[in-house]
Structures are given as structure tokens and as C-alpha cells.
């Protein structure tokens, strides 16, 4: 009778890290109060990857032009990205509409970070994915830029209202509820914005003879097939705290940090000011429905499972 090999205890493993082949993040909106820099820093500390794509709206030039906002944590994010580039991670920055000022530097390097207008990534299992921020396929931005600017101010305003709303909800013992997410889902679903965006981006990837696309822009993380093209969106670090990763076997997955943000160690004041962290705080009532609404687990996503 041979005794089974001892099972290593989870807490004896090396520090929990996220070792992947590739990672994509976008829509950090550094330079705005909405940016969840602390949660992003936690994620970047865990992350170890060969290639990191910054898929646009990294630094919010639109917002910084209106008023300067640059706390230390936003500096820390930039430093962290530069350090990754220095330590051998290939870091590629594909500018978006909020950091369109960087588009004129396409083809240049900054502190080891490559700036490219768009780029093709080949996964470990041979799929070729087009990396683009996606704003070129947003009808609002293309047809009426002034409307996008107005929408942007309104968005900042709802984020502000959202913080106050949840400040009082927390005082009343109510769970976090995202006003901006609610409004956006309502409004954008109504005009079928997301569907049209996804179809347009996928169509362009097909025309380029590629297998799929990775984009950001609409702050809605997703992995799914659109007309036979793999559509991936890496989400954002303002509301949903999501990233896209490629494992070493080529499998793609959405990492959602909204539920696992490192909350208990934080001061209560920080919680009240930070809706996303508030959302991640343990709910007082275990039977209460998820305040963030349902999100399909990546493991059950047919597109992800099918690679
Ligand atoms: Mn954008």
C-alpha cells in the first residue's frame, strides 16, 4: 500500500502571481478621478507576461486639458509600466481617442514602450488577432466628435454622482450600485451601440484576413464570436476592472478584479471614495444579489472554451 503523494498546501505555493503569455489592458483613463489606479497597481504587481498591450485611453488627454489631475498612484502606474518594459516585457502602446496625441508618435519608443497605431498579435496556437483601440468604429466619434466631448463630460458627471450616491448608499447599509454602468447599459443597449460596434470591428478584422480582434473603448469586457471572427474586449479600469490575458497554450481569458480587489486592508475612508472597491467589499447579507449584476464566467464562455 503506497500512500498518496502529499498534496502541497495552497499557501505553500510561490506568491500568487498571474503568469501569462500576453496581457491586454485599456481605458485606464489616468489623469481622471475615475481611474481605479490602486486596483490596477495590484493587478500589475501580480502580472508577469512576455507581452503587454496597452490598448488605448491610457492617459486621458481630453480630461487633463480641462483640469489637471495627477495623483501619486497615477504616477506609480506609469512607473510600473516603464519598469516592466525595462525588465524585458515587450510593452506596446496602441493609442485611443482620449490619448490620440500619442498617435503622431507611432513607430517611436518611449522608455522601452513601443507606440504603434495598431498591431497584429499571433497567439501560441497560431491565431492572428488585430489589436486596435476601436474608436474608429464608434459611429458617435466618427460622425460627431463634439457629441463625444459632450458625452465625455456627462460621463464624468455621472461618475461623480455615482460616488456620492454610493457614499450615501454605504451609510444606509445598501450595496454598491453603479449608476454610470446602469445608464450606459440602458442607453447603449437601446441604440444597439455595443452590437453595432462589435460587428464593425469584427468586419474590419475579417477584411484584413485575420482570425480575430482585441479592442477596448466601450468599457465592456467580452470574449465571443462575431460572424466567425473572435471578438475580444479587454474592458477598462474605471468601472469594471478587467483585463484580457492569453495563457501559454493560447487560451484567452478575461480577468475580472472587481470582485477580488484587495479590500479588507484599506481604510474605510478610501472605501467610501472608491465605488469599485466598495463593490468588492464583502456583502453584509450573503443572500443579497450581486450588486454588479451578472457577468458570464470566462470558463463558460463558448468562444473562450473554443479558443
Ligand atoms: Mn476610447
Cα 55 versus chain centre, distance: 9
Residue 229 backbone dihedrals phi, psi, to 5 degrees: -110, 135
pLDDT for 283 equals: 34
Instruction: Kindly state the cell numbers that stand for 84.
Output: 516592466
- 8 assigned to some structural domain: no
- For ligand 1, the distance from its centroid to the CA atom of residue 225, given in whole angstroms, is 22
- 204 assigned to some structural domain: yes
Cα 210 versus chain centre, distance: 23
Give, to the nearest 10 degrees, the angle between helix 72-86 and helix 37-46. 20
pLDDT for 176 equals: 72
For residues 78 and 73, give the distance between their C-alpha atoms in angstroms, rounded to a whole number: 9
pTM given for the model: 0.70
pLDDT for 174 equals: 78
- For ligand 1, the distance from its centroid to the CA atom of residue 16, given in whole angstroms, is 31
Query: CATH code at 276?
Result: 3.60.21.10
Q: Order the strands of the 212-215 sheet from edge to edge.
A: 119-122, 128-131, 212-215, 229-233, 222-226
Half-sphere exposure of 138 (CA within 13 A, CB side): 19
- For ligand 1, the distance from its centroid to the CA atom of residue 208, given in whole angstroms, is 22
Residue 262 backbone dihedrals phi, psi, to 5 degrees: -75, 85
User: Which residues are 93's β-sheet partners?
Assistant: 54, 115
- 5 assigned to some structural domain: no
For residues 203 and 27, give the distance between their C-alpha atoms in angstroms, rounded to a whole number: 22
- Overall residue count recorded for the chain in this entry: 307
Contact 233, 254 (CB under 8 A): no
Q: Smallest Cα–Cα separation from 226: which of 210, 203, 208? A: 203
- For ligand 1, the distance from its centroid to the CA atom of residue 153, given in whole angstroms, is 14
For residues 227 and 240, give the distance between their C-alpha atoms in angstroms, rounded to a whole number: 26
- For ligand 1, the distance from its centroid to the CA atom of residue 135, given in whole angstroms, is 6
Residue 131: C-alpha distances to residues 24, 201, 265 (Å): 9, 10, 36
Containing H/E element for 299?
none
- For ligand 1, the distance from its centroid to the CA atom of residue 284, given in whole angstroms, is 35
Q: What is the mean pLDDT of the chain?
A: 79
DSSP for 37-65, written as a single string: HHHHHHHHHHEEEEEEEE-S-SB-HHHHH
- 166 assigned to some structural domain: yes
DSSP state of 246: E
Half-sphere exposure of 147 (CA within 13 A, CB side): 7
pLDDT for 28 equals: 97
- 237 assigned to some structural domain: yes
Range of the domain at 175: 20-305
- 9 assigned to some structural domain: no
Residue 43: C-alpha distances to residues 77, 92, 179, 247 (Å): 10, 18, 25, 16
pLDDT for 196 equals: 84
Contact 191, 185 (CB under 8 A): no
- For ligand 1, the distance from its centroid to the CA atom of residue 161, given in whole angstroms, is 21
- For ligand 1, the distance from its centroid to the CA atom of residue 233, given in whole angstroms, is 12
pLDDT for 185 equals: 64
pLDDT for 110 equals: 92
- For ligand 1, the distance from its centroid to the CA atom of residue 57, given in whole angstroms, is 5
Q: How many structural domains does the chain have? A: 1
pLDDT for 161 equals: 80
Burial of 12 (0-12, 13-18, 19+ CB in 10 A): exposed
pLDDT in tens, the chain (307 residues): 445 555 545 444 445 689 999 999 999 999 999 999 999 999 999 999 999 999 999 999 998 988 899 999 999 999 999 999 999 999 999 999 999 999 999 999 999 999 999 999 999 999 999 999 999 888 665 555 555 666 677 777 777 787 788 788 888 887 777 776 776 666 655 456 778 889 999 999 999 999 999 999 999 999 999 999 999 999 999 989 999 999 999 999 999 998 776 533 333 333 333 333 333 333 333 333 333 433 333 333 333 333 3
Number of H helices, E strands in the chain: 10, 12
For residues 137 and 123, give the distance between their C-alpha atoms in angstroms, rounded to a whole number: 24
Q: Tens digits of per-residue pLDDT, 20-76?
A: 999 999 999 999 999 999 999 999 999 999 999 999 999 999 989 888 999 999 999
- 11 assigned to some structural domain: no
- 188 assigned to some structural domain: yes
- For ligand 1, the distance from its centroid to the CA atom of residue 134, given in whole angstroms, is 7
Amino acid at each position: 500500500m503506497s500512500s498518496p503523494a502529499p498534496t502541497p498546501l495552497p499557501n505553500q505555493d510561490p506568491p500568487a502571481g498571474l503568469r501569462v503569455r500576453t496581457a491586454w489592458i485599456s481605458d485606464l483613463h489616468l489623469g481622471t478621478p475615475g481611474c481605479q489606479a490602486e486596483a490596477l497597481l495590484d493587478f500589475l504587481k501580480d502580472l508577469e507576461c512576455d507581452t503587454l498591450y496597452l490598448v488605448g485611453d491610457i492617459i486621458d488627454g481630453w480630461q487633463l486639458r480641462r483640469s489637471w489631475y495627477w495623483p501619486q498612484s497615477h504616477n506609480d502606474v506609469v512607473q510600473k509600466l516603464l519598469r516592466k518594459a525595462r525588465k524585458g516585457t515587450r510593452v506596446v502602446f496602441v493609442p485611443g481617442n482620449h490619448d490620440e496625441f500619442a498617435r503622431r508618435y507611432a513607430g517611436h519608443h518611449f522608455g522601452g514602450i513601443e507606440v504603434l497605431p495598431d498591431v497584429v498579435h499571433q497567439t501560441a496556437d497560431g491565431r492572428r488577432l488585430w489589436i486596435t483601440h476601436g474608436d474608429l468604429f464608434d459611429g458617435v466619434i466618427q460622425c460627431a466628435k463634439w457629441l463625444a466631448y459632450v458625452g465625455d463630460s456627462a460621463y464624468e458627471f455621472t461618475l461623480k454622482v455615482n460616488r456620492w450616491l454610493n457614499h450615501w448608499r454605504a451609510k444606509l447599509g445598501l450595496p454598491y450600485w453603479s449608476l454610470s454602468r446602469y445608464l450606459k447599459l440602458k442607453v447603449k443597449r437601446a441604440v444597439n451601440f455595443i452590437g453595432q460596434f462589435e460587428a464593425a470591428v469584427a468586419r474590419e478584422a475579417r477584411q484584413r484576413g485575420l482570425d480575430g480582434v482585441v479592442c477596448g473603448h466601450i468599457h465592456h469586457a467580452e470574449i465571443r464570436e462575431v460572424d466567425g471572427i473572435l471578438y475580444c474586449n479587454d474592458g477598462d479600469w474605471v468601472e469594471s476592472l478587467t483585463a484580457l490575458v492569453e495563457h501559454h497554450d493560447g487560451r484567452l481569458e478575461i480577468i475580472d478584479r472587481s470582485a477580488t480587489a484587495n479590500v479588507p486592508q484599506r481604510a474605510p475612508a478610501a472605501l467610501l471614495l472608491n465605488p469599485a472597491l466598495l463593490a468588492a467589499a464583502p456583502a453584509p447579507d450573503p443572500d443579497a444579489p450581486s450588486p454588479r449584476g451578472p457577468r458570464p464566467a470566462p470558463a463558460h464562455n463558448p468562444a473562450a472554451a473554443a479558443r
